[in-house]
A and B are shown apart, each in its own frame.
Chain A
Amino acid sequence: MIIPLSSLKIGMNGIIIRLEFEESIKERFIAMGIIPGKKITYVHESPFGDPMVFKIEDNKIMIRKNEAEKIFVDVTEEILSLEESTPGVYKIFLIKGGLFFRKELENLNIVNGSIINVINNHFGKVSLKVNNKTITFGKGRSKKILVKKLNK
């Protein structure tokens, strides 16, 4: 699947496919090492989620979100936050919150790797089904849960 670099989650990687800039800017990014065909990993997030630091081989480059939106990568698996999900079946990839949040989810039978079924997503307020129970998360919480789409 091809997505912009800015949609990567921390720790994820992809293969650079194309850069959609005007020629001179594009050439500069390429000279800095953003070369199509290379593997790129999102390694550091900043306090506001922008800019982002990516790693290509042994080289770390800071890119602002504006520019990252115009660089496209191919990812084998797309990981998104629950907040961005559309109805469908997902697997829990990572829970970003603290210990208490994780404990709480554990009690609901939601741990890394469990399968959930998103029923609807109303501007970030997500209802989902786990083990035949229906749960609803607010925007703040669904942001902290990363999921992987399962193909059905």
Chain B
Amino acid sequence: MTFEIAIIGNPNVGKTSIFNIITGSRQYIANWPGVTVEKKVGSFKYKGHHFKLVDLPGIYTLSAQSDDEKVARDYLINESPDAVVVVADSLNLERSMYLLMQILEMNLPAVLAINSIDEAQSKGKIINPSFISKTLNIPVVLTSAKKLIGIDILLESIHKVAEKKSIPVRNFIYTESINSFIEHFSNKLEEYDFLKSYDKRWLALYYLEFGSKNFHYPETLIEDINSQFDINKLKSEFMNWKFSFISSIIKSSVIEKGRSWAMRDILDHVMTHKVLGLLIYVVALYFVFSLTFNIASPLSDLIDIGFNYLGNFFNGKIPIPWLNSLIVDGIIGGVGGVLIFIPQLFVLFFFMGFLEESGYLPRAAFLVDKLVRKFGLSGRSFMSIILGFGCSVPAIMSTKTIANKKERMALILSIPFASCSARLPVYIILISAFFDKNAATILLFVYISSILLVLLSAKILQIFFIKGEEVPFTIELPRFRMPTFRNLALYSWNRGKHFLEKAGGIILIATIFIWLLSYFPNNNDISHSYAAYIGKFFEPITLHLGWNWQTNISLIFGAVAKEVVASSYMTILNVGQEGITYALQDILTQRSALALIFFVLAYIPCFATLSVIRQETNSWKWLFFELFYTLTIAYLIANFVYLIGGIFL
């Protein structure tokens, strides 16, 4: 038989880290609250038994506000796992105990894992698990997912709790009046058959804490209870009881000595400074773009030389001319044309990994919160926008933690304007060809414009299309952590792997398609090919921007995945990265290239993004709206940039 084990706890305490270690999986980990937004399932074997492990989004309390929190709450209320691992943060034990108490009230078989014990140790904080264990009658384990401490003991405890069928009795000594309330409530519950399967004491306490909002208590019951008891008074009595109970446990099991500050406080002091904070962020972004051109570019030239060699090797060896062209111009030219950007992408992923793992992201949210509020967003949304620099799909998923419905909708539809990594290759070939002198600066400018575009779009959408009400917003700033090289490498590899899969999949298919269109019907006479006909069809609306049919056909295929714009240029212009600069200079001007960069920034999200938009908004209507909307905005911006560019360039 299989045991089902759930992992629950406050956000960012290391639940997924523990999940990954136990199951050997590679779920998404980062140093900000709200990374996991869906239930994730894994499995492991221990002492001959099969275990199913469920990782849940982090919650502070059972009264859930946003969609991700509801996933965790609903799981706890509706499922009956064989054991629940409550993960707590050793430096914030008291807060974690609050959730633990709610779970114990539900009478779930719990194991407490006090995680990040390595950080507590380095601060001179000593935690004595046996006292907590005795008082609450649950196993308590000190763990560290970073230093791999306590994992075996944790598994052992899980195994024990899961095997024991009955749940140990926990008789908390509540006050007199609370006891009589529970008594009365449970007696009343006997009258309702459909509530039989629930724990009666828990239903009573749950009502006391959260009222009847999240659970359907019978009306007659509520009426009776409200007439007999002063609920508000009881509630605050219960809360006070809980506070003093928790703090008495903490007092007897935690010893603090040593210094009360750490290096991270010192870094935090400057990094979260009202002026310097954002400046340092911009410098970091600038650093990445400078690396992109100065360090990654020579590397990608090296890869390009490799592909050229490969192309030359095959060229002429294949007797059938069309097959020869397909392999050399189509596949090697096109797919190779995307793969040469691996160094640039890894630089970007490494940086994104650093942002996420260090804990900087929520600090950026704090610094800009007031500013982005003018656009109907919150600092939390700003975090999702920055995540969008990596890829729009996880960025849109991360909006699940936003409790404000209106803000969330506007953000989902606007995130595609945040410049994702797939667009980087297109920017790079265009910027290298036309703005070589100020390459990094132009790129920084493009990214900052893309943030502005998201903000404006969110505002516009909220004015015209989406209505809703405000919800208070608070966020926890996690501790600064020095990212381990292993985590960063894992992060970059996960993202990079995705890129490679794309190159071998959808980009390859698109490239073959483009080759077909550009080879036929007149055997390699490209200017009289289908591609040319299609591209020329759109020339009436693009020629005034200086885009001819080659650009048009690349843009059309770029709708599949943005990298394809770069690869189809290489196929159609029939050159490698070396020659693309001159080939592009022949068909575009500086002005029209800048307009093109902004068009690529804004136009149609890729297929993967569209499907996640459909999933998160739960409607086809918004998907079609998004297609139309991004295309319109992109076209308007391209024209605008072309106009402005006329003044400066």
Q: Is A in direct contact with B (CB under 8 Å) within the complex?
A: yes
Which of A54-62, A78-86, A109-117, A134-142 lies on the face that meets chain B? A54-62
Q: Is B129 an interface residue (CB 8 A)?
A: no
List B321-365 residues whose CB lies under 8 Å from chain A. 362, 365
* A58, B116: Cα distance in complex, Å: 13
Please give the distance in Å from A65's CB to the nearest CB on chain B.
9
* CB-based nearest B residue for A24: B63
Interface flag for B67 (CB, 8 Å) = no
The range of chain A's interface size is 20 to 34
Complex-state Cα separation, A110 to B370, whole angstroms: 35
Residue interface mask A25-44, B partner, CB < 8 A = 1:
10111111101110000001
Query: Are A62 and B365 in touch, CB under 8 angstroms?
Result: yes
Stretch of A45-53, A90-98, A100-108, A123-131 that contacts chain B? A45-53
Whether A53 pairs with B94 at a CB distance below 8 angstroms is no
| Known contacts A59-B92, A59-B95; A31 and B60 CB within 8 A of each other | yes
One digit per residue, 1 when the CB lies within 8 angstroms of any chain A CB and 0 when it does not, for chain B 264-278 equals: 000010001011001
- Residues of the A chain whose Cβ atoms lie less than 8 Å from the Cβ of B365: 62
Main secondary structure of the interface of A (DSSP, over half): mixed
Q: How many residue-residue contacts, CB under 8 A, span A and B? A: 98
B390 CB-CB contact with A under 8 Å = no
Residues of A within 8 A of B211 (CB): 23
Q: Check A27 against B61 for contact (C-beta < 8 Å).
A: yes
Q: A24-B63, A27-B63 are in contact. Are A57 and B477 (CB under 8 A)?
A: no
CB contact under 8 A between A66 and B472, given known A47-B274, A58-B479:
yes
Residues of B within 8 A of A44 (CB): 268, 272, 366
Q: Are B479 and A37 in contact (CB under 8 A)?
A: no
Closest to A64 in B: B473
Q: Which residues of B contact A17 (CB under 8 A)?
A: none
Query: Does B247 make an interface contact (CB < 8 A)?
Result: yes
Chain A residues within 8 Å of B475, by CB: 61-62
Q: How far is the CB of B474 from chain A (nearest CB, A)?
A: 5
A57 to B251, CA, bound (A): 13
Given A59-B476, A63-B474, A64-B473, are A47 and B91 neighbors across the interface (CB < 8 Å)? no
Beyond the given A28-B60, A64-B369, A66-B472, please list 18 additional residue pairs across the A-B interface where CB-CB is below 8 A.
A29-B474, A32-B474, A33-B92, A35-B98, A35-B243, A37-B247, A44-B268, A44-B366, A45-B274, A46-B367, A47-B275, A47-B367, A59-B91, A60-B476, A62-B477, A64-B472, A64-B474, A67-B472
Pick the 4 closest A-B CB pairs, nearest first. A31-B61, A31-B60, A58-B91, A60-B477
**Chain A: residues with CB nearer than 8 A to chain B?**
23-25, 27-33, 35-37, 44-48, 50-51, 53, 57-64, 66-67
